[in-house]
Amino acid sequence: MGINISNFLTSKSNNRKMNQFQDLDHLDGISISTVSANLYNNKRDDLVMFYFREGANFASVYTQSKIISENIKWNLNQKTKKIFSLLVNTRNANSFTGDQGYKSMENIAEIISLKLNEKQKEDEDYPQKIKTKNIIFGCTGTIGEKFPEEKIKNKISSLINNIKYTQNKYIWMKAALGIMTTDTQPKMAMEECLIGNTKVKIYGIAKGSGMIQPNMATTLGYIFTDANLSNEILKKLLKKNIEDTFNAISCDGDTSTNDMVSIFSTGKANHRKINSISEKKIKNFDLALNKVLLNLAKRVVADGEGASKFISLNIKNCKNDKEAKKIGFSIANSPLVKTAIAGEDPNWGRIIMAIGKSEVTINLNKLLIKLGDIVVVSKGKIYSNYNEKEAAHYMKNPNIEISVDVSNGNKNFTVYTMDLTHKYIEINSDYRS
């Protein structure tokens, strides 16, 4: 597709780029390993381990689906303040697998804890005791297939033997590639900022292409930082910043059983303690975290299954956030709107339809709709200078902006989505073959 992902890299920091991707390098306190467990038949890496040799504080948000995967159940049941390992597999969602799927998490966690404890004794002056509750999982892939426990267990030793204590851009790229399913490209982002006078790093990788409307998409997002932040601070920061990032995207309006976004703090940056997210010295980190999450979320949309257009829906001047979101997602999830955009047809009547079905009361006399800078509807009527040919020409752009101003308050919200093409049908009809 023709979308230039580098457009999403809006950081003012002097970040290096690796082609279209930001160049993630070493981050203290995290180690990475990837391997193929032959979950696919093409020998690609499909297991990724993140190892925190001194443990990491963490926080996660999970899918709001009423049917959740067995790995999400496992993660929710682990009541611990420190995580030592995150293991992510692709190809199998471990969803609708019942007792077998959950028991597999248990069995794999036991092997990981055993092997990591051996590694702790070999490598550390003061070895940590790693328990199964210190291990969490990310799973993505097909729902309802038996979880491949034996294939994964057989590769745990290789994963741990291959752990790299020092990362570089290629190791991060392997990790980002290793968690992909129908994605066509890896998703990485980074920011650097100051907490007080101390520089900290925030790195992130994600996967997601279809079955995406995260409601906290199949979306996995993992954020890593060397900042020294407590679980409670991380939880508040993640919950706050997920709303206008991963919770502001929709590819197809579907919420997965496996969605999870997690943040891990290694505590290696030597800055003064943060006690509250309202403290002035955490403000830069808060803003940088939002940039990383939004960067990754936009990459998910840009790589949506079969997408040819990246669409920003700017909903303005609503009575409250709830109404702004209702209007935005009503438009984003309309097949009629999405196919019109795919066909480069400025059929604004479909936008009107989608606004109307949002269940938000609209004063037509105040309604303004724009395609880019082109005014289409003003005060509830076709704008007197509206030019259909000009609008049709605008629709040929790979990046489409639609603005809806209801003039009913002061709350704004932007939803990011994609068009709906024949390719989406092809991908999802062939998904398991």
Q: Which are the catalytic amino acids?
A: 218
How far apart CA 11 and CA 34 sit, in angstroms, is 29
Beta strands, E only, 71-186: 83-89, 135-139
Q: Which two tokens stand for residue 61?
A: 């948000």
How far apart CA 326 and CA 330 sit, in angstroms, is 6
Buried b (16+ CB within 10 A) or exposed e, 393-419: ebbeeeebbbbbbbebeebebbbbbbb
From the number of C-beta atoms within 10 Å of its C-beta (0-12, 13-18, 19+), residue 6 rates as exposed
User: Widest CA span of the chain, in angstroms?
Assistant: 76
Residue carrying the six token digits 């969803």: 95
The identity of residue 181, as a single letter, is T
User: How many CB atoms lie under 10 A from the CB of residue 106?
Assistant: 12
The identity of residue 156, as a single letter, is I
The SS3 assignment for 231 reads helix
Q: Could you give the residue ranges of the DSSP H alpha helices within 162-263? A: 169-178, 231-242
Q: Which two tokens stand for residue 246?
A: 């991963």
How far apart CA 413 and CA 45 sit, in angstroms, is 38
Question: Beta strand pairing status for 187-195 and 198-207?
Answer: antiparallel
